[in-house]
Amino acid sequence: MKTRRTFLKTSAFGISSATLVPFTDLLAKGSTDVVVVKQPEEYETFFVRENTPITFNISKNKDGVSSVSLLTEELVPGSVIPIHKHLHADEFFFFHQGTGDFIVEDKTFSFKAGTTAFVPKNTWHSLKNTSHEKVIFSFGFSPAGFEDFFREIGTPKGQEFKQKSEEARNAIAKKYGMVFK
């Protein structure tokens, strides 16, 4: 039976310099991503509709993370995200506040604060705020990259909102592998 000391000396993270593998070498071999720790004041926010902010918590473009992105969105009562699918990325959700309907393919699921969802690529989905309060949710993509769609269709927080035409939005969606039903 190996003792803890023997294990540490012979493991990748052991004390023996002959067997020690630096953490940075493991990252270089196993991942292209970097460690990211950001404070709320460091986030970027873009408005995709006049009253719909999307905040970029972690993104490929700004943070160098390629495996996953993380964003936060606020939907006012009655808002609907149209039925769509992503051709190149899985999408995941965590609902912080509000209630509504989450439509996946031909099924409707109710959501409330604390609900999570995962939608594989090439799956039709939509979201409706059916409550009398804002729906606030975090969502992201794997792999990262689709979040740049929101940068291109949106207006940075603090600037006068400029709505893109439906034709322009559809062209940008196509560029990022998003298809509307």
Confidence check: pLDDT of 116 > 50: yes
pLDDT attached to residue 83:
97
Is pLDDT above 60 for 53?
yes
- Give the bridge partners for 108, in sequence order: 103
pLDDT score of 32 more than 70: no
What pLDDT, in 10s, does the model give residues 35-51? 999 999 999 999 999 99
Under a CB-based contact definition with an 8 Å cutoff, are residues 16 and 9 in contact? yes
Domains defined for the chain, CATH in brackets: 1-30 (no CATH), 40-180 (2.60.120.10)
Q: What is the CA radius of gyration of the chain?
A: 21
- CB atoms under 10 Å from CB of 62, counted, come to 17
